[in-house]
Amino acid sequence: MPAIHGNLGVLLFGGGAFHPNGKTKTHGALARAKPGEKIGSPCSARIIVGLHAGNSTVGYKIKDVIEYVKGVLSSPDASFIAQRGIFTQLSESLKGTVVSERGVQIFLIDMDNRDGATFTADMQAFAEGVARAFQQEAVILDVQERGISMGVYRVTP
């Protein structure tokens, strides 16, 4: 795997957590990079999304999330990593009940060297689209610089 500026480990946030537990799947320039090659800028973000749509029986798979991300990031150099895990969070619609479900983290690398504020705004807009597409009450956005979390946001559609 190439060298990336990012943390793909356990994420703890107010009201929940994401515990990765599957293999990583690389896409874009990441998939074509040589081992140890540095890819992208120091800015990255990960979006945590549940694979169950709210209170309904609709369920998604990691491949659905991957196809969505590929469709939105239409550039062949768009680089991201997808990984399964367990997503636990408080549900506002279920009056504070803790919900634990299968989830996915999508790790996005800034290939355009945007400044931190622009990158964060772009990732918040992207996360809103993910929440809407997968019928989520909210998704979690973790914006990182050199693998250090610069802000964790609960993003609603």
pLDDT digits (tens, 9 = 90+) for 50-79: 998 666 667 899 999 999 998 898 766 677
Domain-embedded: residue 4:
no
Handedness of CA 50, 54, 55, 60 (dihedral sign): negative
Domain-embedded: residue 51:
yes
Alpha helices in the chain (DSSP H): 29-32, 62-72, 116-133
Check pLDDT > 60 for residue 138: yes
pTM: 0.89
Looking at per-residue confidence, does 132 or 42 come out higher? 132
Domain-embedded: residue 122:
yes
Count of structural domains within the chain: 1
For residue 42, what are the domain limits? Answer: 11-155
